[in-house]
Structure 1
């Protein structure tokens, strides 16, 4: 650890990083079991209900671009605290929504506030750690983050047995308030702040994107990551409407998928002790494509056939995210906040696209999900094989 935290200490800092990194899954997975119920109660369509998910991620992505550069100028802590205030208040607004349109607006505001947490979390990892240590911390944080999608749907399904769906958003308000109190104990992690104007700080996003090495890696790992959000958008309808499970049974299968997501980063760390990172990533793409083929072909056969194929795809994606993010960060020695914002922005943006694409075929969501996985596996895999032996990739892994 490059610098010490007076109040949070090493363990407290790690917990805070994992907690604020978990805001996207916490904000979605907790109410996933309620989506079919919300469709009926709000007297709306599946497409409209899915907008509470997809619009959340779109504006979460936009918020990242807003907060990331500002954290370079004003510091990580102030941005985190402001974001958590917005997130907490908007979660309460969501809980009081009477119409789906009100809920969508509330989710948009909630997304803008919550994105501050993600914008600073990745940047703080680079502020605080370096080299191989950073990669290990990323893997541990990503694995800890997966606890959210394991626990959240189970809690959500349990709550739905006793209370209405609105209570879930009041629980999320409590999550935001907890992050706000923990963030108050944080000591600023950025050493050298950007001294230009606010407008110029946002202009640093363009400076980072002009780095071709960063941009090509951004395209590769953002494309492969869209698989996770595509699965989330379709999962409740596949398990509940397709396989006939109830909300609690669905939550168990979502937790099953999340366990594989938790294993992915730690498995990468273990494998990287014996194999080169480039080789691990190169093997991941064809395996992921095979998982997509399995989802599309045998996924209809039984709930367990679908669950296993989808879970293996999740394991591969989350395992490749660790070296992918670290590789991208290594391309930028400065403008860490902007780089972090762009990494998360494009992951969210393409994920939202995947959510929309899978909804285009509501009559066969399993086939739609499998085809999307195959498509993104081919696109990102081809790009990776074109650049995997380039000097900037070799150097970054050697330095790590």
Structure 2
């Protein structure tokens, strides 16, 4: 949309307003870290409760991401056809119900199935949230909003483990899922107040709407950028899935202390996007992205060497990679969204799908029976940051990259 954003929001968001819309988008974008990080401190306790191996309990996390990725593929295109609001309401209703069912699971296999349903529904929240950003914003304003939304979203990894650990002091892991059900209900009420953001809906059939995924996938500029930025999800998500085992089991910390270390790392996820908006006025975005891959590679070397010797050294070694990755999120998302005219739902669905699939690969790798998970994680950062850097160096001078970065700079 080329209309001034303030006018659009004042006109279309009668109840939420511009700030309310941004907060809603941020909360929808945070569904995944909230749905996963909130119960991370409970993973070791859940294994004891169900008398199940950690690898089986980890399936509640790994399969969540796999089916979330699959679900996000169809929610986005469907929102192009039926509208953002309708799809959000359907997805949130399923999410709320499945969260409540997780809380009353009788065994680990029931929990896994209900988590799969919850994961599929979660795709509606995140895919539609990103599509709404493109519906309403353009140019540097869009990058600015993406930075704000990303920073607000990254508050979830800081708050969620701490809140999860506090919940565990008063109740069991089942209480964590009841909190998620209540959260789903509250967000549903907010979406009821949302005015539709999509300007033009797809007129084709459902199959034609889903076929837009293939149209976008044939765009070489989009797919190259998608591969470049999705590779870093592998080491990043390996940390998310294994952090409680590393801090609690390997380093011997309590669940509460673990949550503080996790929150400290997540803090740098929050400031990264805001830092990008400041630095990008002084340094070219293309150089910032290049530097982020170099820093992640160096950070991986520190993780695999000094990070294995204790929780403080591990955290300090990991922070540079975390900060570097979060700095690139606003420009990378904008770069990918600008590669395709129309089919916004399909674009963000493929972005979500790719990031989640690559992240799931990292989760599967780190969940294998390694003697030292910290060492493996550091090596993954080195390998995949170097691979992303190599691809980025080849495409960063291309016109389809330079045009977008110059327009948003």
TM-score range, shorter chain: over 0.9
Q: Corresponding residue for 2:258?
A: 250
Which residue number in structure 2 is paired with residue 316 of structure 1?
324
- Find the aligned partners of 2:362 and 2:186 in 1 and give their Cα distance: 31
Alignment of 1:375-394 (within 5 A): 375-394=383-402
Of the three residues 201, 216, 230, the one matched with 2:238 is 230
Cα separation, 2, equivalents of 1:45 and 1:352: 19
Contact 1:296 1:366 in 2 (8 A): yes
Secondary structure, aligned partner of 2:232: helix
Partner of 1:305: 313
The CA deviation at 1:166 is 0.7
The CA distance in 1 between the partners of 2:279 and 2:24, in whole Å, is 27
Per-residue deviation, 1:227: 2.7
The question of 1:290 aligning with 2:298 is answered: yes
Does the 8 Å contact 2:234/2:380 carry over to 1?
no
- 1:228: how far off? 2.3
* TM-score after normalising by structure 1: 0.99
Aligned to 2:84: 76
Q: Which residue of 2 aligns with 1:209?
A: 217
Structure 2 residues without counterparts, runs of 5 or longer: none
Distance 1:207 1:226 in 2: 26
The correspondence for 1:3, drawn from 5, 8, 15, is 8
CA contact (8 A) 1:225 1:317 kept: no
Of 141, 145, 165, 2:153 maps to 145
Alignment of 1:338-353 (within 5 A): 338-353=346-361
Contact 2:63 2:116 in 1 (8 A): yes
Residue by residue over 1:132-187, the C-alpha shift from the partner in whole angstroms, topping out at 9 and shown as x without a partner, is 00000000100011111111111110111121111100000011101100000000
Query: How far apart, in 1, do the equivalents of 2:247 and 2:320 lie?
Result: 17
Task: Return the alpha-carbon distance in structure 2 between the equivalents of residues 311 and 80 of structure 1.
Answer: 34
Alignment pair present for 1:358 and 2:363: no
Alignment partner, residue 277 of structure 1: 285
In structure 2, distance between residues paired with 1:321 and 1:225: 11
- The aligned length equals 400
Deviation at 1:108, TM superposition (A): 0.3
SS at match of 1:300: helix
Question: Is the Cα–Cα contact under 8 Å of residues 42 and 98 in structure 1 kept in the other structure?
Answer: no
Q: Could you tell me how far 1:117 is from its partner in structure 2?
A: 0.4
| 3-state SS, counterpart of residue 289 of structure 1 | helix
Query: Which structure 2 residues correspond to residues 21-32 of structure 1 after superposition, within 5 A?
Result: 21-32=29-40
Q: Does structure 1 conserve the Cα–Cα contact (< 8 Å) formed by 2:78 and 2:209?
A: yes
Does structure 2 conserve the Cα–Cα contact (< 8 Å) formed by 1:286 and 1:381? yes
Return structure 1 stretches of 4+ with deviation > 3 angstroms.
Answer: none
Aligned to 2:122: 114
Superposed displacement of residue 268, structure 1: 1.0
| Shift of residue 328, structure 1, vs aligned partner | 0.4
Rounded Cα–Cα distance in structure 2 between residues aligned with 1:71 and 1:170: 28
User: Distance in 1 between the 2:236 and 2:38 partners?
Assistant: 16
Shift of 1:97: 0.9
Equivalent residue, structure 2, for 1:221: 229
Secondary structure of the 2:211 match is helix
Kept in 2: contact 1:358–1:372 (CA 8 A): no
How far apart are residue 248 of structure 1 and its match?
0.4
Deviation at 1:291, TM superposition (A): 0.6
> 8 Å contact 1:150–1:258 — kept in the other structure?
yes
CA contact (8 A) 2:233 2:362 kept: no
CA offset at residue 308 of structure 1? 1.3
Query: Conserved in 2, the CA contact under 8 Å of 1:224 and 1:376?
Result: yes
Counterpart check, 1:179 vs 2:194: no
Q: 2:197 aligns with which of 189, 210, 221?
A: 189
What is the distance in 2 between the residues matched to 1:37 and 1:150?
A: 21
1:57-136 matched pairs, under 5 angstroms: 57-136=65-144
Cα separation, 2, equivalents of 1:361 and 1:276: 43
**Match in the other structure for 1:328:** 336
